[in-house]
Amino acid sequence: TFHAAVAVACVATVLCAQPEIGGVDYSTHPVVRTAAGEHAFKVQRDQSLGTTAARELLKSAPKGSRCCNSNGGLSLDDRVQFGTSQPISGVDGSNGASDAHLTQCANTTAPLTHSTRVAIVTQATAAVDGYARYASAINSVYAAHRGYSFSVYADDPHLMPASYEYRYGKVPLLLRLMQSPSHAHVAYFLWIDADAIVLDHSYDVVARLANENPGKHIIGCREALISTNNVINSGTLLLRNTPWTLAFLRAWMAHPDALIGAPDQHTFDELWRANHLDVRGKTALLPANAFNSEPPFFETFRTPRQQPVLHLMGENERVRKGIFGRAWRGLCARSAGGAPGRVRARGRTVTSGGGGGGGDGGG
C-alpha cells in the first residue's frame, strides 16, 4: 500500500506567443555570506539534503523490490537503517570499487519486455561513472516498481559526429531507440540525465504527466537560469513515441548549429523560436520542479513530495557522488562485496575513471 501522490500538481504551460521564457536569476545570492560562510553553508546543505533524500526514499520505496538482481543484491525487506555515520564505499574515503557493479545491476533490474509501455533511458560515460552508478541503481528500482524498463547506455563513437557537443548524445540515442523494432510498442520514453534521480517512488510520475498533458508529444521543464537564455532544460524529457516526435528528433539532430558543437538545449531553442513543426503546440513546458530542479539545489531543494526528481546540474563530482551515494545507501541494503573494475553499460564497457562526460557540466 502506498501513499497517494501529493507532490506535483502542475498545469502544462505551452508558450505559443513568446519565444523567451522567464526564470529565476541566481547570478547573485539572496543572502550575502563570506567565502568561508558560503562554503560551510553548502557543506551543511549537502549533508542535510543527502540525509533527507535517503530517508524519504526509504519511506516511498516499495517493500520487496530488489536493488539489483546480480552480485547478491538484497531485497528492500532486508535494508538497513540509514545513518550518516556509516561509511559509504566511494563516498566516504574509499575508492568505490565495490560499488562498480551497480551499473550492470541497473541494466538488469528493469528489462524491456513485450508489455513495457514506458522506457527510462540514460547515458553514462566513464568520466561520470563515479556518481552515475548510484543514480542508475536508484532509478532502476523505480522503473522496476512501476513496470517500466530502464537502460543506461555508454558513450558510442558511432552515435554522432565527433564535432557534436558531448551532451548531445541523448538526441541520436532516443532517435535510434524510437526507430528500433524492439521499442515499437513503447508508448513513452523518459530521458533522465546521469546526474538526476527520481526521489519519490510512491507514485507514477509518468502517468501523471501524460494524463495532465493530453495531446502533447514532448513534456519537459523550463530552464530556471535566465543567464543561460535556454527555453528548456533537457536533463529530463518525456517523449511520446509518435511519428511527430520522430520527425522532431531528426530535425533536432540535423540542426546546422549542432555540427559546430552547439549544445542540444541551444538547438532546441532555435527550433522553438522558429516554431519548427509546430513544436510550441506539441510541447508542454512545466515549471522547473515538476520533474527537474532549480539550481542551486542547496537553496531550492524541496521535499520529494514537492520535487519528485533531483537534478544536480552543474555540481561537482564530490557533491553528486555524496548525495546519490547516500540516497542509494538509504534505499538499498548494502550488498556484500561486489565486482571492482569494469562495469557493463548497454553498447560497450565502461571503465571507472577516465575521460568522457554524459551528464556532466551545467545541462
pLDDT band at 173 (very low <50, low <70, confident <90, very high): very high
Strand partners, 307: none
Q: What is the pLDDT of residue 82?
A: 29
Q: 66-80, 269-283, 287-301 — which is least confidently predicted?
A: 66-80
CB 360 within 8 A of CB 316: no
Mean pLDDT, residues 336-360: 37
pLDDT grade for 97, boundaries at 50, 70 and 90: low
Give the domain 101-336 fold: Spore Coat Polysaccharide Biosynthesis Protein SpsA; Chain A (3.90.550)
Residue 288 has pLDDT above 60, yes or no: yes
Higher pLDDT, 218 or 69: 218
What order do you get walking across the sheet with 149-153 strand by strand? 149-153, 118-123, 188-192, 232-240, 218-222, 283-286
Tell the residue number behind the cell numbers 551543511, with chain if given: 44
What is d(CA 12, CA 58) in angstroms, rounded to the nearest whole number? 30
Straight-line distance from the first to the last Cα atom of the chain, in angstroms, rounded to the nearest whole number: 36
Section 192-211 average pLDDT: 91
Q: What is the pLDDT of residue 8?
A: 29
- Evaluate whether 292 touches 188 at the Cβ level (below 8 Å): no
Please give the average per-residue pLDDT across 26-33, as a whole number. Answer: 48
Q: Cα angle vertex 241, ends 245, 250, to 5°?
A: 30
| CB-based contacts of 22, cutoff 8 Å, min separation 6 | 226
Angle, helices 317-331/129-146, rounded to nearest 10 degrees: 40
Helices (H) and strands (E) in the chain, counts: 10, 10
265 pLDDT band, cuts 50/70/90, is very high
pTM of the model: 0.75
- What are phi and psi for residue 269, nearest 5 degrees? -60, -40
Instruction: Evaluate if residue 212 carries a pLDDT over 90.
Output: yes
pLDDT of residue 57: 62
Beta-strand pair 196-198/309-311: antiparallel
| C-alpha to C-alpha distances, 63 to 109, 121, 126, 145, 295, nearest whole angstrom | 15, 24, 32, 10, 32
Q: What is the mean pLDDT of residues 160-178?
A: 95
Q: Is the pLDDT of residue 343 over 80?
A: no
pLDDT digits (tens, 9 = 90+) for 126-161: 889 999 999 999 999 999 989 999 999 988 889 999
Does 344 or 48 have the greater pLDDT score? 48
Compute the distance between CA of residue 241 and CA of residue 47 in angstroms, rounded to an integer: 39
The mean-pLDDT minimum among 89-103, 177-191, 317-331 falls in 89-103
Listed in sequence order, the residues at least 6 apart from 62 whose beta carbon sits closer than 8 Å to its beta carbon are 2, 76, 145, 201
What is Dmax (Cα atoms) for the chain? 57
Between 130 and 345, residue with greater pLDDT: 130
Residues of the chain above pLDDT 70, percent: 66
In this predicted structure, what is the pLDDT of residue 351? 33
